[in-house]
Amino acid sequence: MKKLISALMLATALIAPGLAMARDITIETTMVRYSGHAAYVAVYLTKPDGSYDSTLWVAGRKTKYYRDLPGWISAASTGGQITLDGITGASVGSGETLTVHADLADTLLDAGYQIHVDTAVENGFQFSDDAVIDLNSAPATVSGTGYVSKIAIGL
């Protein structure tokens, strides 16, 4: 009996880390060609119930313009505060592609999670859910509805 318990504990110790593995997901957001300033872009993850999970990347360094991404900012801010250390970069211009790499747990794949992209351009428009794509184990591409031409996920 002790040998059986020891064998089960060893098997669990060897298998459990594999269940919690993270995978590098590449998210490429290609912008349409438009005239005007570069876009502020928020790339974030939502849970299967549609609630906010986490921010993957924000393109645009001036925090005063984050309010122009109302879908993302209302979901991501807690008590009026938002923490974005290490996940921000320059805004994205007309026709450019923003590439984001995220380490996401394998358990999130095919589990109903979605990646959302919100966009806004100074003196232009704001698009909450400009592009939304399911987080699946197969590569996928969807079209945007505003400044996003397409979003593609690669595993």
CB contact at 8 A, 101 and 24: yes
pTM of the model: 0.85
CA separation, residue 72 to residues 3, 11, 55 (Å)? 53, 42, 9
Q: Which amino acid is at 115?
A: I
Map out the domains of the chain as residue ranges. 21-154
Structurally, at CATH architecture level, domain 21-154 sits in Sandwich (2.60)
Q: Of 31, 59, 35, 27, which Cα lies nearest the Cα of 135?
A: 27
Read off the pLDDT of residues 99-145 as tens digits, 9 standing for 90 and up. 999 999 999 999 999 999 999 999 999 999 999 999 999 999 999 99
- d(C-alpha 94, C-alpha 32), whole Å: 6
Read off the pLDDT of residues 26-50 as tens digits, 9 standing for 90 and up. 999 999 999 999 999 999 999 999 9
